[in-house]
Structure 1
Amino acid sequence: MSLASPLTRTASQTLTEQLAERFADRIRNRLLAPGARLPSVRECARQQGVSPHTVVAAYDQLLALGLVEARRQRGFFVRQEAPPALRGREAVAARGAPAPRVAPAAAPVSTVLAAKPADASTLIRGMFHRRSDKPQPGMGVLPPDWLQSTFMPAAVRRVTTTAALQEFSLQYGDPAGDAGLRRSLAHKLAGIQLEVGPEQIVTTVGATHALDIVSRTLLRAGDPVMVEEPGWAVEFARLEALGMRVLPVPRRADGPDLAVMQRYCEAHAPKLFVSVSVLHNPTGYSLNPASAYRVLQLAQQHDFHIVEDDTYSHLASAHATRLSVLDGLQRTIYVSGFAKVLAPNWRIGFMCAAPPLLERLQETKLLATLTTPALLERALAWCIDQGQLRRHVERVRVRLDGARARAVKLALAHGCTLAAEPAGLFGWLDTGVDTDTLTQRMLDKGYLLAPGSLFHARRQPTTLMRINFATTQEAAFWKVFSAVRDKG
């Protein structure tokens, strides 16, 4: 059932069945996270335009399915654990690892407290399982029409001639990745002053795969890891699944909170720091040189590695401050990819590190995936070498600049304030209302938001939300947003 479809009595389904199906669909797809409270009976009846009796009957069906639980004098809540009928691969994955111990920045860092991780699948499922033809403000990628090109099909045709197809398909490729692509990447990285040879690069199945390889190589279950907060919901969930102790570091405009990092280092001896130095997700912040030098000093003094996720490098200035450039990959591991600006489904990423560490990273990749598909890697190398990628990125950046200006103007006109200076693909806005509740109300209008709670290690109510500038530059969304928010 479409998120935006109205409830209408039909011969095949009653209003009660339709409403129950709508909530069941959201729960199974994690659009309503475990522990989330359903609207009160009266509020739901008003929102959906049905009688309270219909809502009560629908909630009873959800209770019978084991999807929700009733709490006396508090209402109905999504069950924390999947019911027996739903247990299987998804339920096992959800239960797979013990919950991490998470230390909030505001609490004394001498004690690491148990906490619930952000529900990353809420964001992922909503982004990649489209339920409406409307532009989605919570999306993490550029719209498909922004990425359309003629050079990508041409690149694929070049590497899928009969001879090339047999060469790439009938034998395993180099475990480090296609040699041609690694040469192209080394040349490209010189443009941001990161001087590496092809032998210091290993390709991966996207940047997320690279981050996972780093974690599995350097960490063991229970190890403390510093992660910027707010931060990428998937990173919190991924580390939690590996059983790591997550230490949230508040992210500021100039970089991570150095005082909190210092206290973590003294109290917990963390093994790793995960950072998005440039065009940080979700705030758009970029690291300044003074903070970068201090972070590197802490890494040297307290013997931890830094993985620098430069996923948004294509949208940033070549002269932006990067830890890997300043450090020369002594304690840093540089990670990036091409999903954001070129082809999300090609899943090509890479990592760079000092030779001794790179051997260990490549060994982890080898044990997990053997190698990566050389066909698309060689096609990407052609796109880089011919200048097609560079020209494409220039067009995207110009288009994004215009979209950002329009989206910011509309957001301000509809009562939002900027929680961070707008930059890059994402905007970090204060809506003035609880965005978890607002997200559920906007689902009925066909829009999926990215509420601020998803970007914290411990999910907590917030009035912040992340928007994608490319999908929020039209007035239609903001009119609906304003009406739903103000209706309360």
Structure 2
Amino acid sequence: MNHTVGRADGLAQTLALRIDQRLLLPGARLPSVREAARLHGLSPSTVVAAYDRLQAQGLVEARAQRGFFVRETRPAGNTPARSAARATAAAGPAPFDSLTLIRSLLRSEQQDSPAHGTLPLSWLDATPLRQALRAVLAPGQDALLLRYADPAGDPELRAVLAARLAEIGVHANADQLLTTVGATQALDLIAHSLAQPGDAVLVDEPGWPIEYARLTQAGLRLLPVARGPQGPDLAHMAQLIQQHRPRLYVTVSVLHNPTGHCLNLAQAHEVVRLCESGDTLIVEDDTYAAFAPAHSPRLAALDGLRRTLYVSGFAKILGAGLRVGYVAGAPALIARLTERKLVHELCSSAVLERALAHLLTRGGLRKQAERLQVRLQAARNRCARLAEQHGFEFAAPPQGLFGWLNTGVDSEQLAQALHPSGWASAPERLFSPSRRSGPHLRVNFASAQDARYWQALAKARDALR
């Protein structure tokens, strides 16, 4: 009897930990009693006892004929299970919801996780950037250290960026460019400067959860547009624009995160047309531009930056320590963004921006991008083989950094099953503003080279089936 009680307490504490870490999100359905018994090697009665403990602590609720669900609002206080969860939280794999995902991005030990959003550290080379920093900090360059920078950004960098944008068909001059502390700040400036609390904003579903969090914290209403391997649901977008007159459409047009899809020319034209009909500003996030196929159409190029704000950065290709991003758009819109940057930040780093300009003008970034493209292509090929060997398939032909893997089972339950073996996963529910679950996982090709990951994934899937 005591043995059974101990096992029930252990399962309850494990699940409480996952709830406290937000690996199990509010509204998530726990595995059925039979499924949980099989997954954890326990008797059904032990699982029932564990679920009863969680319900008594207010962490889950029972719904008639449907099962047990994580409560939408977790109670205040310090229950024994939650105390144990906090005490052991640091030992478990990183949770993946919008806010805890941000924290996980700052944990270097998570860099090689298949759920992560960047290249592994071992793939990156800091030598070119180190050389560029030495060059701009040479004697005679003290002003870069001692004076405030231009609020709009380093003039040399903006000139270089304008030339790079012209290569992809986006034509901008200096007063149409604003540098920022990474692409993240550019997107934040847009959310707070060009929309008012209560405004509607179109977003892709699935899409980037940190962007959902950013827009929600700005008081904006999210209107999800279904986005699949074949692109956005244009008919649904037209309906939402007509009914809600959204202020913004925030999208990743090239190498969409998480599906890897790129808009074709016809789709891009239609998106521009629909947004123009509804007086909707397009926010084109091109964070993964360095990995993009050649000649990928950009919305900003088709629109001529009239109603499109183009956002990009360099953290994904040069390293997260280089917090330099930028936004290009119509002069009037850029002026409004510059005012907010001036009030909140004064300026960004003149040293980092000048070093980046130095690196770009000498071709260092281009060479690094070419090397990484070759390596990433090999990683995609290996992941495609491993997926096929273990009975999985990607929703679209692999390209870019991410693949949208169809597992054939509920991906959130699959992530829960993988958790004890130490593999963090990024299930479909994470990328859904409507918190909808599904069979897909986002897989980082560069960090999913270990065959043991695919073996564990297949084993967990088979157990769920």
Which residue matches 1:431?
407
Kindly tell me: are residues 410 and 172 of structure 1, through their superposed partners in 2, closer, same or farther at Cα, counting changes over 3 Å?
same
Which residue matches 1:380?
356
How many Å separate the matches in 2 of 1:81 and 1:151?
Answer: 49
- Corresponding letter in the other structure for 1:136: S
Q: How many residues matched?
A: 442
Of 302, 306, 309, which residue of structure 1 is paired with 2:282?
A: 306
Question: Given the alignment of the two structures, is residue 80 of structure 1 paired with residue 72 of structure 2, yes or no?
Answer: yes
Of 163, 177, 184, which residue of structure 2 is paired with 1:208?
A: 184
Q: Which has the higher helix share?
A: 2
TM alignment of 1:81-480, pairs within 5 A? 81-85=73-77, 119-129=97-107, 135-161=112-138, 164=141, 166-253=142-229, 255-480=231-456
- Corresponding letter in the other structure for 2:420: D
- Work out whether residues 105 and 116 of structure 2, in 8 Å CA contact, stay in contact via their aligned partners in 1: yes
Deviates more, 1:393-402 or 1:173-182: 173-182
Which residue matches 2:85?
none
How many Å separate the matches in 2 of 1:252 and 1:46?
Answer: 33
Kindly tell me: are residues 161 and 58 of structure 1, through their superposed partners in 2, closer, same or farther at Cα, counting changes over 3 Å?
farther
Deviates more, 1:336-345 or 1:249-258: 249-258
The unaligned stretches of length 5 or more in structure 2 are 79-95
- Corresponding letter in the other structure for 2:352: L
Give a deviation string over 1:166-217, Cα, whole Å, max 9, x none: 5334332211122222122112222212222233211112212211211212
Report the alpha carbon displacement of residue 160 of structure 1 after superposing the two structures with TM.
Answer: 4.2
Deviates more, 1:214-223 or 1:365-374: 365-374
Kindly tell me: are residues 57 and 298 of structure 1, through their superposed partners in 2, closer, same or farther at Cα, counting changes over 3 Å?
closer
- Corresponding letter in the other structure for 2:260: G
Give a deviation string over 1:7-63, Cα, whole Å, max 9, x none: xx9xxxx98887666545433332222233445677556545678898788778867
- SS of the residue aligned with 2:317? coil
How many Å separate the matches in 1 of 2:108 and 2:147?
Answer: 36
How many Å separate the matches in 1 of 2:134 and 2:54?
Answer: 51
Which residue matches 1:99?
none
Report the alpha carbon displacement of residue 476 of structure 1 after superposing the two structures with TM.
Answer: 1.6
Report the alpha carbon displacement of residue 367 of structure 1 after superposing the two structures with TM.
Answer: 2.2
Which residue matches 2:20?
28
How many Å separate the matches in 1 of 2:110 and 2:255?
Answer: 28
- SS of the residue aligned with 1:324? helix
For normalisation by structure 2, the TM-score amounts to: 0.86
How many Å separate the matches in 2 of 1:191 and 1:354?
Answer: 19
- Work out whether residues 159 and 375 of structure 1, in 8 Å CA contact, stay in contact via their aligned partners in 2: yes
Give a deviation string over 1:230-266, Cα, whole Å, max 9, x none: 2111222222222222111122455432212221222
How many Å separate the matches in 1 of 2:287 and 2:463?
Answer: 38
The unaligned stretches of length 5 or more in structure 1 are 1-8, 87-117
- SS of the residue aligned with 1:84? coil
- Work out whether residues 172 and 371 of structure 1, in 8 Å CA contact, stay in contact via their aligned partners in 2: yes
Question: Given the alignment of the two structures, is residue 483 of structure 1 paired with residue 459 of structure 2, yes or no?
Answer: yes
How many Å separate the matches in 1 of 2:22 and 2:145?
Answer: 38
Of 59, 62, 71, which residue of structure 2 is paired with 1:68?
A: 59
Amino-acid identity (%): 48
- Work out whether residues 404 and 473 of structure 1, in 8 Å CA contact, stay in contact via their aligned partners in 2: no
Kindly tell me: are residues 442 and 128 of structure 1, through their superposed partners in 2, closer, same or farther at Cα, counting changes over 3 Å?
farther
- SS of the residue aligned with 2:339? helix
How many Å separate the matches in 1 of 2:119 and 2:28?
Answer: 29
How many Å separate the matches in 1 of 2:110 and 2:196?
Answer: 41
Give a deviation string over 1:397-418, Cα, whole Å, max 9, x none: 0000010011011112211122
Deviates more, 1:73-82 or 1:31-40: 73-82
Kindly tell me: are residues 351 and 279 of structure 1, through their superposed partners in 2, closer, same or farther at Cα, counting changes over 3 Å?
same
- Corresponding letter in the other structure for 2:60: E
- Work out whether residues 311 and 335 of structure 1, in 8 Å CA contact, stay in contact via their aligned partners in 2: yes
- Corresponding letter in the other structure for 1:319: H
- SS of the residue aligned with 1:216? helix
How many Å separate the matches in 2 of 1:188 and 1:236?
Answer: 29
Which residue matches 1:96?
none
- Corresponding letter in the other structure for 2:73: E
- SS of the residue aligned with 2:223? strand
Kindly tell me: are residues 230 and 306 of structure 1, through their superposed partners in 2, closer, same or farther at Cα, counting changes over 3 Å?
same
- SS of the residue aligned with 1:202? strand
Deviates more, 1:229-238 or 1:356-365: 229-238
- Corresponding letter in the other structure for 1:69: V
Kindly tell me: are residues 184 and 79 of structure 1, through their superposed partners in 2, closer, same or farther at Cα, counting changes over 3 Å?
same
- SS of the residue aligned with 1:196? coil
How many Å separate the matches in 2 of 1:410 and 1:186?
Answer: 41
- SS of the residue aligned with 1:336? strand
Report the alpha carbon displacement of residue 346 of structure 1 after superposing the two structures with TM.
Answer: 2.1
- SS of the residue aligned with 1:444? helix
Report the alpha carbon displacement of residue 486 of structure 1 after superposing the two structures with TM.
Answer: 0.8
How many Å separate the matches in 2 of 1:176 and 1:365?
Answer: 9
- SS of the residue aligned with 1:273? strand
How many Å separate the matches in 2 of 1:487 and 1:119?
Answer: 25
Kindly tell me: are residues 264 and 62 of structure 1, through their superposed partners in 2, closer, same or farther at Cα, counting changes over 3 Å?
closer
For normalisation by structure 1, the TM-score amounts to: 0.82
Report the alpha carbon displacement of residue 286 of structure 1 after superposing the two structures with TM.
Answer: 1.1
- Work out whether residues 253 and 287 of structure 1, in 8 Å CA contact, stay in contact via their aligned partners in 2: no
Report the alpha carbon displacement of residue 351 of structure 1 after superposing the two structures with TM.
Answer: 0.1
Kindly tell me: are residues 27 and 173 of structure 1, through their superposed partners in 2, closer, same or farther at Cα, counting changes over 3 Å?
farther
How many Å separate the matches in 1 of 2:177 and 2:119?
Answer: 26
Report the alpha carbon displacement of residue 321 of structure 1 after superposing the two structures with TM.
Answer: 0.5
Instruction: Report the RMSD for the aligned CA atoms in angstroms.
Output: 2.9
